[in-house]
């Protein structure tokens, strides 16, 4: 038996008071002298002691009534395990989400995260189920519910510990929305497989620095289950001053006006930073050595208030090195203080143009070709006329051959030589009769061509946006080609093109752009023209990016190096058309080499910041991978933002708070049991019966002791 208010049971001690008073020794307090007794000899005083208890049954009844009333006020109840809450029988399902993003590289944060995971595991009951999931921009399940269940209770902590020993913070961004959604789906999926999905309490404990750069946009479209509670276990480093450094990618307007050595950078100062003055300067990044500082006079001071950002022009970049990095100093955290940069080399690109125009007529193809392939600070473009034969003998010097008229037999032989050496030929089919020269170039069966019957116009469809030529149009805002009208085009038999890859079609089903491998090179066949007589392509905004993509792919270089972040997919432009042979090998900053899959051109194996390099044959392509800029926003994220997105938040209690909550739950359970049993009702009723019996017995005793008159 237990008591809801055990202090009231102390009232039972009141039973002893009448007995004690009855047994106490009684001595006279005052002495009265009578004059009539003054001549008598005094006798010793006798102290009386009421040691004999009278009316024991009456005393027993009164004491019993007091005991029953005291027990009733103490609210007794019997403990019964069958009334325990269901959650205590089945345990909890807990998903521990451990943040392993780049911001967790700050001083002391990872050690705090590991210790917090072990603390949460120690506080779990034996019948709880725990899953361990690490997240950054990817979700990595480390320990599943089934693995937890299959591990003995004594070995679970060691399993968690050994798993965490192998886990380190990455360099990726923090996608908190994807992690929470995945954990919610994991709990909901496992619960749906049970007979009673609501049997266990479902909790997600997020162990993270919860910095402002965490991505939350995915939670807006996710309806959060009300039965899943989220606890946030966040922590901050002792030193909070942090400034991040990112290189600003040049915009399209800068490609023709900005010097190649000019670099602009953005400095983001966290909202909780204590300092606002920093320095930036270049350091050399060599593949075979660590970072080496350049001259000391190449450093500048930057003032950035806390919670703000500034875009400034970096010091002059060292011109003698291809790969360099810009370093920031003056803050407490170093994980985001380096930005890597690869200078775009000035490329000499010679284009062999075979056409019947000189480039002065605004209605002819060469006029638009010269303006679309203009010079930039990173390349020098020279268009060679057919009569300049000094370049014919050295096809490796030709970056691209463009054919807009039917070539002569001598020119066909030169083009075949160019293709056999890995070059690229863009053949804009000027008429159906020019298909005969196309057959000679490919060296296969005769290719027949006819003029398409278009009463109005044709449009492009079935465009392969995953191909490198159309990769720049893959976003929805750039992928609309329906405004481009084609007045003329030719129909060819695509079955006569061995190994051809159709890159685009017209809306009548005819081939528009096709890539045909020829020897080590490739032939790009365009069955229409871009000049106004054939189409509106040259007048559209799609023409220049498309031609530049063809030129850069053919030359195997990029006129403007893209900006990549850790985890981004990188496309290699070292194709066979530029002279490279064999498989593509990726060399990471730590000199580890990875061979791309067969026919693969892209990879996402960019897991650390630094300088990477594609290698194919005797050609190479370097590119820089930097830290995601969101990771520099290290100020704490208000948890109210998570509540506004619908999450059911529950504060993560300390050990003392957990003990207090356990005590409160135990008291609630006791109250529920006591209110269900209501033993005090029976005790009060028994006390009333005893008092009635005591009253009857007292009256009977009093009548028996009364003297007879």
pLDDT digits (tens, 9 = 90+) for 627-641: 999 999 999 999 889
Q: For residues 353 and 369, what is the distance between their CA atoms, to the nearest angstrom?
A: 10
Identify whether the C-beta of residue 458 lies closer than 8 Å to the C-beta of residue 486.
yes
Tens-place pLDDT, residues 122-181: 988 888 899 999 999 999 999 999 999 999 988 999 999 999 999 999 999 999 999 999
Q: For residues 673 and 49, what is the distance between their CA atoms, to the nearest angstrom?
A: 49
The pLDDT assigned to 40 comes to: 77
Asked whether residue 351 carries a pLDDT value surpassing 50, the answer given is yes
Q: For residues 349 and 466, what is the distance between their CA atoms, to the nearest angstrom?
A: 26
Identify whether the C-beta of residue 104 lies closer than 8 Å to the C-beta of residue 110.
yes
Asked whether residue 394 carries a pLDDT value surpassing 80, the answer given is no
Q: Of 187-196, 440-449, 514-523, 659-668, where does mean pLDDT reach its minimum?
A: 187-196
Q: Largest Cα–Cα distance in the chain?
A: 173
Q: Of 189-203, 313-327, 474-488, 521-535, where does mean pLDDT reach its minimum?
A: 189-203
The pLDDT assigned to 390 comes to: 47
Q: For residues 106 and 113, what is the distance between their CA atoms, to the nearest angstrom?
A: 12
Nearest to 267 by CA among 176, 342, 330: 330
What is the average per-residue pLDDT within 537-547?
A: 92
The pLDDT assigned to 253 comes to: 47
Q: For residues 185 and 427, what is the distance between their CA atoms, to the nearest angstrom?
A: 53
Residues in contact with 339: Cβ distance below 8 Å, sequence separation at least 6, in sequence order:
245, 246, 247, 265, 325, 326, 626, 627
Counting residues of the chain whose pLDDT is more than 70, the rounded percentage is 82
What is the average per-residue pLDDT within 437-462?
A: 84
Give the DSSP H or E segment for 245: strand 243-247
Identify whether the C-beta of residue 260 lies closer than 8 Å to the C-beta of residue 296.
no
**pLDDT category of residue 80 using cuts at 50, 70 and 90:** low
Cα dihedral 654, 659, 662, 667, rounded to 10, equals -130
What is the average per-residue pLDDT within 259-266?
A: 77
Asked whether residue 320 carries a pLDDT value surpassing 80, the answer given is no
| Dihedral sign from CA coordinates of 459, 462, 468, 473 | positive
Choose the most confident range, by mean pLDDT, from 70-74, 485-489, 612-616, 703-707. Answer: 485-489
Q: For residues 383 and 227, what is the distance between their CA atoms, to the nearest angstrom?
A: 68
Asked whether residue 652 carries a pLDDT value surpassing 70, the answer given is no
What is the average per-residue pLDDT within 457-481?
A: 89
DSSP state of 406: P
Cα dist from 369 to 247, 548, 579, whole Å = 32, 10, 24
Rg (CA), the chain: 44
Asked whether residue 546 carries a pLDDT value surpassing 80, the answer given is yes
What is the average per-residue pLDDT within 282-310?
A: 72
What does 12-46 look like in DSSP terms, one character per residue? GGGGHHHHHHHHSEE--S-----GGGTTSPP----
What is the average per-residue pLDDT within 421-448?
A: 84
| Dihedral sign from CA coordinates of 367, 371, 373, 376 | positive
What is the average per-residue pLDDT within 326-337?
A: 93
Residue for token digits 């361990």? 132
Q: How many CB atoms neighbour CB 227 within 10 A? A: 14
The pLDDT assigned to 573 comes to: 67
Give the residue with greater pLDDT, 267 vs 653: 267
What is the average per-residue pLDDT within 45-71?
A: 72
Q: For residues 588 and 565, what is the distance between their CA atoms, to the nearest angstrom?
A: 14
3-state secondary structure of 383: strand
- Quick one: how far is CA 439 from the chain centroid? 53
The pLDDT assigned to 292 comes to: 54
3-state secondary structure of 436: helix
What is the average per-residue pLDDT within 343-359?
A: 82
Asked whether residue 392 carries a pLDDT value surpassing 70, the answer given is no
Give the residue with greater pLDDT, 218 vs 572: 218
The pLDDT assigned to 82 comes to: 47
The pLDDT assigned to 144 comes to: 93
Nearest to 328 by CA among 296, 280, 284: 280
The pLDDT assigned to 198 comes to: 47
Counting residues of the chain whose pLDDT is more than 90, the rounded percentage is 34
What is the chain's mean pLDDT, rounded?
A: 82
Q: For residues 202 and 198, what is the distance between their CA atoms, to the nearest angstrom?
A: 9
Give the residue with greater pLDDT, 80 vs 70: 70
Tens-place pLDDT, residues 105-119: 999 999 999 999 999
| Dihedral sign from CA coordinates of 560, 344, 602, 625 | negative
Nearest to 584 by CA among 600, 562, 565: 600
Tens-place pLDDT, residues 585-601: 889 998 888 887 655 56
Residues in contact with 293: Cβ distance below 8 Å, sequence separation at least 6, in sequence order:
281, 283, 284
Q: Of 505-509, 526-530, 662-666, where does mean pLDDT reach its minimum?
A: 662-666
Nearest to 205 by CA among 299, 312, 98, 290: 98
Q: What are phi and psi of 281, to 5 degrees?
A: -165, 160
Q: What is the pTM of this model?
A: 0.61
What does 407-434 look like in DSSP terms, one character per residue? PPHHHHHHHHHHHHTT-EEEEE--SGGG
Asked whether residue 606 carries a pLDDT value surpassing 80, the answer given is yes
The pLDDT assigned to 393 comes to: 45
The pLDDT assigned to 411 comes to: 86
Cα dist from 682 to 212, 678, 690, whole Å = 61, 8, 12
Q: What angle do CA 285, 287, 290 make, to 5 degrees?
A: 55
Tell me the pairing of strands 347-354 and 379-384. parallel
Q: For residues 122 and 125, what is the distance between their CA atoms, to the nearest angstrom?
A: 8
What is the average per-residue pLDDT within 6-33?
A: 69
Q: What angle do CA 346, 348, 354 make, to 5 degrees?
A: 150
Q: For residues 258 and 392, what is the distance between their CA atoms, to the nearest angstrom?
A: 34
Asked whether residue 532 carries a pLDDT value surpassing 50, the answer given is yes
Tens-place pLDDT, residues 84-107: 444 445 678 999 999 999 999 999
Asked whether residue 257 carries a pLDDT value surpassing 70, the answer given is no
Asked whether residue 646 carries a pLDDT value surpassing 70, the answer given is yes
The pLDDT assigned to 706 comes to: 66
The pLDDT assigned to 268 comes to: 94
């Amino acid at each position: 038996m237990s008591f809801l208010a055990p202090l009231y049971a102390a009232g039972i001690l009141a039973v002893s008071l009448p007995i004690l008073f009855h047994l106490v020794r009684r001595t006279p307090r005052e002495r009265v002298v009578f004059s009539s007794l003054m001549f008598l000899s005094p006798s010793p005083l006798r102290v009386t002691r009421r040691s004999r208890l009278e009316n024991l049954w009456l005393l027993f009844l009164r004491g019993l009534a007091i005991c029953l009333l005291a027990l009733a006020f103490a609210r007794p109840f019997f403990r019964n395990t069958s009334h325990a809450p269901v959650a205590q029988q089945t345990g909890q399902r807990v998903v521990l989400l451990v943040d392993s993003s780049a911001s967790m590289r700050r001083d002391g944060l990872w050690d705090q995260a590991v210790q917090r995971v072990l603390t949460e595991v120690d506080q779990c009951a034996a019948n709880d189920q725990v899953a361990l999931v690490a997240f950054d921009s990817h979700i990595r399940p480390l320990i599943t519910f089934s693995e937890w269940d299959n591990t003995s209770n004594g070995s679970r902590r060691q399993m968690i510990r050994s798993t965490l020993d192998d886990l380190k913070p990455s360099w990726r961004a923090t996608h908190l929305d994807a992690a929470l959604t995945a954990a919610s789906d994991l709990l909901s999926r496992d619960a749906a497989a049970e007979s009673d999905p609501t049997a266990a309490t479902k909790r997600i404990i997020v162990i993270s620095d919860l910095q402002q750069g965490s991505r939350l946009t995915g939670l807006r479209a996710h309806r959060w289950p009300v039965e899943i509670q989220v606890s946030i276990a966040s922590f901050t480093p002792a030193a909070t001053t942090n400034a991040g450094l990112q290189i600003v990618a040049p915009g399209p307007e800068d490609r023709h006006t900005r010097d190649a050595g000019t670099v602009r950078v953005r400095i983001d100062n966290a909202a909780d930073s204590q300092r606002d003055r920093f320095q930036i300067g270049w350091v050399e990044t060599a593949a075979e050595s660590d970072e080496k500082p350049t001259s000391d006079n190449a450093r500048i001071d930057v003032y950035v208030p806390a919670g703000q950002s500034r875009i400034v022009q970096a010091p002059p970049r060292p011109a003698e090195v291809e790969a360099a990095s810009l370093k920031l100093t003056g803050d407490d955290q170093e994980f985001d203080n380096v930005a890597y940069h690869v200078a775009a080399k000035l490329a000499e690109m010679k284009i062999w143009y075979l056409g019947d125009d000189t480039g002065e007529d605004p209605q002819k193809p060469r006029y638009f070709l010269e303006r679309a392939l203009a010079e930039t600070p990173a390349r020098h473009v020279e268009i060679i006329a057919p009569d300049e034969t000094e370049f014919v003998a050295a096809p490796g010097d030709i970056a691209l051959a463009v054919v807009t008229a039917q070539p002569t037999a001598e020119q066909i032989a030169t083009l075949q030589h160019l293709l056999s050496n890995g070059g690229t030929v863009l053949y804009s089919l000027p008429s159906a009769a020019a298909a005969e020269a196309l057959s000679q170039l490919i060296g296969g069966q005769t290719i027949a061509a006819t003029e398409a019957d278009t009463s109005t116009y044709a449009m492009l469809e079935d465009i392969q946006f995953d191909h490198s030529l159309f990769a720049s149009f893959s976003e929805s805002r750039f992928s609309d080609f329906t405004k481009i009208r084609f007045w003329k085009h030719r129909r060819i038999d695509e079955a006569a093109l061995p190994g051809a890859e159709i890159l685009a079609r017209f809306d009548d089903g005819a081939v528009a752009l096709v890539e045909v491998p020829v020897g080590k090179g490739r032939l790009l066949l365009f069955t229409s023209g871009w000049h106004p007589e054939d189409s509106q392509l040259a007048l559209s905004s799609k023409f220049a990016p498309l031609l530049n993509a063809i030129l850069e792919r053919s030359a195997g270089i990029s006129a403007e190096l893209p900006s990549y972040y850790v985890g981004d997919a990188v496309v290699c432009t070292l194709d066979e058309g530029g002279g490279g042979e064999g498989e593509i090998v990726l060399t990471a900053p730590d000199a580890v080499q990875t061979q791309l899959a067969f026919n693969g051109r892209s990879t996402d194996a960019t897991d650390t910041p630094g300088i990477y390099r594609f290698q194919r044959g005797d050609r190479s392509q370097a590119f820089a991978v930097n830290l995601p800029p969101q990771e520099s926003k290290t100020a704490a994220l208000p948890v109210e933002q998570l509540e506004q997105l619908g999450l059911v938040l529950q504060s993560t209690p300390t050990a003392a708070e957990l003990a207090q909550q356990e005590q409160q739950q135990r008291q609630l359970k006791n109250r529920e049991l006591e209110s269900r049993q209501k033993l005090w009702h029976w005790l009060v009723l028994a006390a009333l019966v005893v008092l009635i019996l005591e009253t009857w017995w007292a009256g009977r005793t009093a009548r028996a002791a009364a003297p007879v008159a």
